[in-house]
């Protein structure tokens, strides 16, 4: 059973071309999920380095004030 937009299709009712389209769609969706995971990692690392920069600047400003 193949489900697309909440509509169920029987694989045996699909032509070879339609099955290929389903395969291509699955590949695209898998790629999308991987990319979203990578974007989440990038967001986390971006925030980490922003925080490191901010903290380092504050430390240097504190030293300069003394």
Residues 9-66 have pLDDT tens digits of 999 999 999 999 999 999 999 999 999 999 999 999 999 999 999 999 888 777 777 6
Whether the CB-CB separation of 19 and 11 falls below 8 Å is answered with yes
Domain that includes residue 24, residue range: 2-65
Whether the CB-CB separation of 47 and 37 falls below 8 Å is answered with no
What are the structure tokens assigned to 34, written together? 């991987």
pLDDT for position 66: 62
Number of domains in the chain: 1
pLDDT for position 58: 83
Reported pTM: 0.70
**pLDDT above 90 for 7:** yes
pLDDT for position 61: 76
């Amino acid at each position: 059973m193949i489900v697309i937009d909440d509509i169920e299709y029987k694989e045996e009712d699909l032509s070879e071309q339609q099955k290929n389209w389903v395969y291509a769609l699955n590949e695209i969706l898998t790629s999308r999920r991987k990319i979203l995971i990578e974007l989440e990692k990038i967001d986390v690392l971006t925030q980490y380095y922003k925080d490191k920069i901010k903290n380092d600047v504050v430390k240097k400003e504190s030293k300069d004030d003394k």
